Amino acid sequence: MNFASDNIVGASAPVLEALVRANAGAMPAYGADEITKRVEAAFSRIFEREATVLLVTTGTAANALALAAAVPPYGLAVCHAESHVIDDECGAPEFFMHGAKLVGLPGTGAKLTSETVATYLKGLRRADRQMPPKALSISQVTEGGLVYSLDELAGLSAVCREHGLFLHMDGARFANALVTLGCTPAEMTWKAGVDILSFGGTKNGCLMAEAVVVFDPALVEGLAHRRKRAGQVASKGRVLSAQFEAYLADDHWLANARHANRMAALLAEGLAGTPGARLPWAVQANELFPILPRTLDEALKEAGFIYHPWSTKSLPAGEVVADSEVMIRLVTSFATEEAAVRRFIDVARSAARREAAE
Amino acid sequence: MNFASDNIVGASAPVLEALVRANAGAMPAYGADEITKRVEAAFSRIFEREATVLLVTTGTAANALALAAAVPPYGLAVCHAESHVIDDECGAPEFFMHGAKLVGLPGTGAKLTSETVATYLKGLRRADRQMPPKALSISQVTEGGLVYSLDELAGLSAVCREHGLFLHMDGARFANALVTLGCTPAEMTWKAGVDILSFGGTKNGCLMAEAVVVFDPALVEGLAHRRKRAGQVASKGRVLSAQFEAYLADDHWLANARHANRMAALLAEGLAGTPGARLPWAVQANELFPILPRTLDEALKEAGFIYHPWSTKSLPAGEVVADSEVMIRLVTSFATEEAAVRRFIDVARSAARREAAE
Amino acid sequence: MNFASDNIVGASAPVLEALVRANAGAMPAYGADEITKRVEAAFSRIFEREATVLLVTTGTAANALALAAAVPPYGLAVCHAESHVIDDECGAPEFFMHGAKLVGLPGTGAKLTSETVATYLKGLRRADRQMPPKALSISQVTEGGLVYSLDELAGLSAVCREHGLFLHMDGARFANALVTLGCTPAEMTWKAGVDILSFGGTKNGCLMAEAVVVFDPALVEGLAHRRKRAGQVASKGRVLSAQFEAYLADDHWLANARHANRMAALLAEGLAGTPGARLPWAVQANELFPILPRTLDEALKEAGFIYHPWSTKSLPAGEVVADSEVMIRLVTSFATEEAAVRRFIDVARSAARREAAE
Amino acid sequence: MNFASDNIVGASAPVLEALVRANAGAMPAYGADEITKRVEAAFSRIFEREATVLLVTTGTAANALALAAAVPPYGLAVCHAESHVIDDECGAPEFFMHGAKLVGLPGTGAKLTSETVATYLKGLRRADRQMPPKALSISQVTEGGLVYSLDELAGLSAVCREHGLFLHMDGARFANALVTLGCTPAEMTWKAGVDILSFGGTKNGCLMAEAVVVFDPALVEGLAHRRKRAGQVASKGRVLSAQFEAYLADDHWLANARHANRMAALLAEGLAGTPGARLPWAVQANELFPILPRTLDEALKEAGFIYHPWSTKSLPAGEVVADSEVMIRLVTSFATEEAAVRRFIDVARSAARREAAE
């Protein structure tokens, strides 16, 4: 009954079991353990190439480290105005980048178009007083639950190449996007021009496990030192690596994401048939942002459903949330039960019917 | 057979079980869970006063955050020249403090005397070009395995008060020091003048759980924001809080520390009767730093014992490690088995006897 | 014939002469000279109270130091979206503030209203992930050449008090605003609630002389150290202090500003009678931002006038610059000659007449 | 009568006159003026190669910018323990380098040997917890008034190459060293392996003029932006460039330095014949550090001579300053009058004779 986020539940069973198994015995500390080595190899296998992998404890740390690798202290990083890096991390990227600046651009559903980015970059002055742009950071899935297509990624990547920017992908919900596109991890990242990736595990089955995956060798230097001085090297490295090993094994991560996305699709389907409710943009992963009559919202809360109201800043042109309405966010996860989804729809439809009858 | 450190094993059974139990069900994210609230209350109970507690993932992060709370970017923090903060954290404190400087002073066994600190502070210039001292950071247990007595803490604290410095305690091995002194946590901290504490759990039974405990209200402002922007707010807060709840319950942490210290005492006792081996200073917690003939060192390694050679920079005046000798570090933990200790002593004594016979 | 800015000429005669005079003889270095002491006293006299004064070499340094005194590394500083601090200093404030963030709000003529600021502040979340607002930075004169009235300053100051923000004034053109308001320096600063001021001399008669003036004692601590570590303590302090002494003596600074403002008023008057030209907002100090037909613009350039095209981002609602038009900035200074102003008007009017005739 | 430092006098006549001349007329701001362009060309001519030159206002800023170009935030810069960068700049390098650390090594007369540096570098751990060394910073002239020979520079440079460090030279007294060696600026810098140079003008005839000269193109990127965000771009660029133009013209800078050095040599000669006085190391430029009986010191002060007592930390092995003695620093400059030197010697010798007679 809790659709507040995908980090409100613990780990999935295989991940938790792996953590318990890995607890036994002596292992070298600070990530020199064998499990960490195996996980690094697993990442290379999954991404079909050598990649430098740094396990960290939070998505904020992964994003901030990745951006610090790409952006010097006097540089700019471009992102969406509602992206997590600019809006939800209390300035972590600015801290790790040593004062470099994030610039937020607009876009429906928290998604950037290559036109928006190109226009912004072309408008910048070439002058000492202008911080030079050094990276573009996009979220795959976006904060609005949208998924960049491979073509869109290629377009953004082309703009980055033209202007000399690195391309960072915040993949807190990487798996959810991947199963939507049905492509390979390589296709959604380095083959599309992504230079450095925040790879999230926590929201999709881990208890606490995130990684920075570096594709561009130019970004590797010093990153291990940056992680250490950020207090992000786990003393008992297994606490992170054991989770990832189980997460990546047997396509467990993909199965988790598929379930989460399917639950979101079910919710979307149900809301489509609910009078008064509408979705401002397509549901493409495991989040949806319905606009509901306040009466529906109240009925759902009364029935015990938990979720957050949401920002209306990235609505499409022309879309307006009336005073009698509210825009909310619903998030599904590997642990979301279909019964809860069905109950949500039932309550929403009943309320809508009652409303219509009055 | 592994005396390399106290972070080479996983969690103790009660801590691991608590983590598994806490995995179930939905809970608010980012530390708003009930377990975190209970843990914060537990800390206040243990320290016999209101205290602000921030759970973090590593000792490096705890130290760096604590120092950043106490030292402005233009300030100095004084510490021992071989302390963890200055020597083993890749500049994390300097990063979190935004360029403030750590100054390392000498002292046998990595322990500072109040005289050393006072003399240093009195010698500083009063001038704009001189970074002003703002904090003293001590390690309880020190990097040399020594424990500051309550009198020594009071002496250091008095120097801090006189010169306007905050007193930070790096308590990565807080429990080991506490059971040695046999005093209360309050007596070893705020009653002795400690303003802010890094409270370690990981080395003494947790898998990954550290905390910053703030006693001086002047150091609280902004610290939660600093933690967030450091990427140290666990997405699923229970991963830290559940460990601490079990760690602090039923004096489990003290029992763990007592065992570790007893194992170190056994090792010390055994080495005392081993010809050729000597201890440059007393064993007061769970670490010892014997100077051994190289032949002994080789015999121990051959027998499969694992440990690190150690720096001789903090030896007492007059003590010298000969070319035929090596100084090593042995660390015991809650998980150290008495049999391993006895075997270590046996191997060492046999080697010593063989040496003598030749 | 050069209206590009007020920093394109050297020092005024009294300032230059003072610099030459002060060159002779030995004086203590690093600002311990007698002239610096006299200048500090002069500032206190002019502002009718004790104030801490730090001489620095550039306006960027003054702004960045002032903001660093007011805003911790995890904080927000609010300013206008086109202010100098956010747009023209290559991230100096973010550097000096150690990653704290500047947030730019809109407003006609680069001027903020207290409503805009209050609405923004009220909309901020109270959460660890939200950087907390700590300062408001306003420019007096604004980047659009407007002057905040005492009432407007009081309104902004009231918002700051309510939300716990310090109020910083970027006074790069302090004198120009002051003579417009006809009030005392005290009335335009601390009596209106300003806590810390960047006091500019360079644009109004000095060669290189800026100051941070601190009214709120809470902002003084450490500021001298911050200046030193910013490389802003002049080795031969007289180079700055001698300029300020002459600048502040005999109301020289006010005379300079009055002349500059009068030249701008003359330009405005002339353009008011020039068909096709219009001013999007009032001319209140020494800058004006006319919108001109491109034909006029070309005629003026051809006649040898130098000035910059300007950003149209802060136009009043409804005002649009047509494709056939251009918006420019004209700046006058203590050195602007009335003949140049008259010639500018003549050329503009001739061009306008020719245009009308075609 | 003032030997306190070489920054206690104003500018030399040619420099001041150039500044006055350059005051007239309109020029582009922010260093886009013609004089700045000519000065940049002059630097390239003097150094016999293309070099990137950035004019700044203080030596602290020059050093901090140069080090920030060479050292990433997680790196180490090695220097002498009594160097200006580590001891007299209130942490400016740490600020500009964003928390990178300075490590101070010992050496007589504040001079480093290549052996000392090599031994230190070889002893560093290869580990994430160890900040990696990235630059060596040496002072030419050293804080002890010594001058590195070309062979010594080559030796230090070879160590840098071997360990992947950039070589920075703090040339606050560059000219004084140059005339001592009698070599070309190229030979003392890039031909000897120097990658980046702080070129001082202020102590040798300018009022305020310093420069960063970059020889290694790898260090150029972003440096202009770093200068801007440090508040080091002069609004009226001529204030710096005009001084340098006169300083570098007609070998004025070399003549100034020769005079200063000659005055120091005269002082040294005079003290050599003064009973009780001794010099702990050779006088090689414009500073000397005599150890004097306190009676002599008192007589000199009584006679009105001004100078500083000095740190005895870098004395050669075996040299001790007795309780009845004091070590002082005497600095000469382009403006030191021979009469003052002679008077100093007379007073010292008279006092010594009186002492001997008693």
* pLDDT level of residue B294 (50, 70, 90 thresholds): very high
Average pLDDT over residues C246-257: 98
The beta-carbon neighbor of A229 closest among D74, D222, D229 is D74
Provide the shortest C-alpha distance from residue A329 to chain B (in Å): 15
Provide the shortest C-alpha distance from residue D227 to chain A (in Å): 8
* A242, A37 Cβ separation under 8 angstroms: no
The 3-state secondary structure of chain B reads CECCCCCCCCCCHHHHHHHHHHCCCCCCCCCCCHHHHHHHHHHHHHHCCCCEEEEECCHHHHHHHHHHHHCCCCCEEEEECCCHHHHCCCCHHHHHCCCCEEEEECCHHHCCCHHHHHHHHHHCCCCCCCCCEEEEEEECCCCCCCCCCHHHHHHHHHHHHHHCCEEEEEECCHHHHHHHHCCCHHHHCHHHCCCEEEEECHHHCCCCCEEEEECCHHHCCCHHHHHHHCCCCCCCCHHHHHHHHHHHHHHHHHHHHHHHHHHHHHHHHHHHCCCCCECCCCCCCCEECCEEEHHHHHHHHHCCCECEECCCCCCCCCCCCCCCEEEEEEECCCCCCHHHHHHHHHHHHHHHHHHHHC
Pick the residue of C239, C305, C306 with the most D CBs within 10 A to test the interface with D by mutation.
C239
pLDDT above 80 for C358: no
Low-confidence ranges of chain D (pLDDT < 70): none
CB atoms < 10 A from the CB of A315, how many? 18
- Which pLDDT score is estimated for A355? 82
Size of interface B-D (CB pairs under 8 A): 50
Report how far residue C205's alpha carbon sits from residue C201's, in angstroms, rounded to the nearest whole number. Answer: 6
Backbone phi, then psi, for A288, in 5-degree steps? -140, 155
Give the 3-state secondary structure percentages of chain A, helix then strand then coil, rounded to 5: 45, 15, 40
Instruction: Give per-residue pLDDT as tens, C57-106.
Output: 999 999 999 999 999 999 999 999 999 999 999 999 999 999 999 999 99
Report how far residue C200's alpha carbon sits from residue C192's, in angstroms, rounded to the nearest whole number. Answer: 19
CB distance C74–B229 less than 8 Å? yes
The beta-carbon neighbor of C98 closest among B30, B73, B222 is B73
Contact residues on chain D for B89, CB-CB shorter than 8 A:
129
CB distance D128–A227 less than 8 Å? yes
HSE-up (13 A, CA, CB side) for residue D51: 30
Average pLDDT over residues C109-115: 98
- Which pLDDT score is estimated for B357? 85
Average pLDDT over residues C31-53: 97
The beta-carbon neighbor of C91 closest among A88, A90, A99 is A99
- Which pLDDT score is estimated for A306? 97
Pick the residue of A57, A87, A98, A204 with the most B CBs within 10 A to test the interface with B by mutation.
A57
Size of interface A-B (CB pairs under 8 A): 158
The beta-carbon neighbor of D90 closest among B74, B90, B97 is B74
Chains that touch B (3 or more CB pairs under 8 A): A, C, D
Q: Residue B78: in which H helix or E strand, if any?
A: strand B76-80
Peptide bond into B141 cis (omega under 30): yes
Q: Which single residue is written with the structure tokens 């008023």?
A: C265
The beta-carbon neighbor of A90 closest among C89, C97, C131 is C131
Q: Residue A226: in which H helix or E strand, if any?
A: helix A223-229
Nearest CA in chain B to D89: B129
Provide the shortest C-alpha distance from residue C87 to chain A (in Å): 7
Pick the residue of C63, C94, C128 with the most A CBs within 10 A to test the interface with A by mutation.
C94
CB distance D235–C58 less than 8 Å? yes
Instruction: Give per-residue pLDDT as tens, C113-126.
Output: 999 999 999 999 99
Contact residues on chain D for C233, CB-CB shorter than 8 A:
58, 60
CB distance A225–D98 less than 8 Å? no
Chains that touch D (3 or more CB pairs under 8 A): A, B, C
* pLDDT level of residue B356 (50, 70, 90 thresholds): confident
Contact residues on chain D for C207, CB-CB shorter than 8 A:
23, 236, 239
What number of residues does chain B have?
A: 358
Peptide bond into A320 cis (omega under 30): no
Q: Please, what's the largest Cα pairwise distance for chain D?
A: 68
DSSP state letters, A135-159: EEEEESS-TTS----HHHHHHHHHH
Nearest CA in chain B to C221: B72
Provide the shortest C-alpha distance from residue C218 to chain D (in Å): 21
**For residue D118, what are the CA distances in angstroms to B337, D112, D133, D135, D144?**
43, 10, 12, 13, 21
* A325, A291 Cβ separation under 8 angstroms: yes
Size of interface A-D (CB pairs under 8 A): 47
Chain-centre distance for alpha carbon A223: 21
CB distance D231–C22 less than 8 Å? no
Contact residues on chain D for C11, CB-CB shorter than 8 A:
23
Chains that touch A (3 or more CB pairs under 8 A): B, C, D
| Nearest C-alpha neighbor of A230 from the set A92, A36, A89 | A92
The beta-carbon neighbor of D95 closest among B88, B99, B130 is B99
CB distance D8–C24 less than 8 Å? no
Chain-centre distance for alpha carbon C251: 19
CB distance D89–C228 less than 8 Å? yes
Nearest CA in chain D to A235: D129
pTM of this prediction? 0.97
Backbone phi, then psi, for A223, in 5-degree steps? -65, -35
Average pLDDT over residues C323-329: 97
Chains that touch C (3 or more CB pairs under 8 A): A, B, D
Contact residues on chain C for B229, CB-CB shorter than 8 A:
74, 99, 131
* D26, C8 Cβ separation under 8 angstroms: yes
Nearest CA in chain C to A96: C99
CB distance D131–B95 less than 8 Å? no
Contact residues on chain D for A131, CB-CB shorter than 8 A:
225, 229
Predicted ipTM > 0.95:
yes
- Which pLDDT score is estimated for C90? 97
CB distance D30–A128 less than 8 Å? yes
Q: Residue D85: in which H helix or E strand, if any?
A: helix D84-87
Taking any CB pair shorter than 8 Å as contact, residues of chain C touching chain B are: 30, 72-75, 98-99, 128-129, 131-132, 222, 224-229, 233
The beta-carbon neighbor of A233 closest among B58, B62, B232 is B58
Instruction: Give per-residue pLDDT as tens, C210-237.
Output: 999 999 999 999 999 999 999 999 999 9
Provide the shortest C-alpha distance from residue A92 to chain C (in Å): 9
Contact residues on chain C for B228, CB-CB shorter than 8 A:
128-129
Using the CB atoms, write b or e for C87-125: b if 16+ within 10 Å: bbbbbbbbbbbbbbbbebbebbbbbbbbebbbebbeeee
Cα torsion D49, D52, D58, D63: sign: negative
Contact residues on chain C for D241, CB-CB shorter than 8 A:
none
Low-confidence ranges of chain A (pLDDT < 70): none
Report how far residue D330's alpha carbon sits from residue D296's, in angstroms, rounded to the nearest whole number. Answer: 14
Contact residues on chain B for A5, CB-CB shorter than 8 A:
29
Pick the residue of D212, D223, D225 with the most A CBs within 10 A to test the interface with A by mutation.
D225
pLDDT above 80 for B263: yes
Contact residues on chain C for D9, CB-CB shorter than 8 A:
25-27, 236
Contact residues on chain C for B72, CB-CB shorter than 8 A:
222
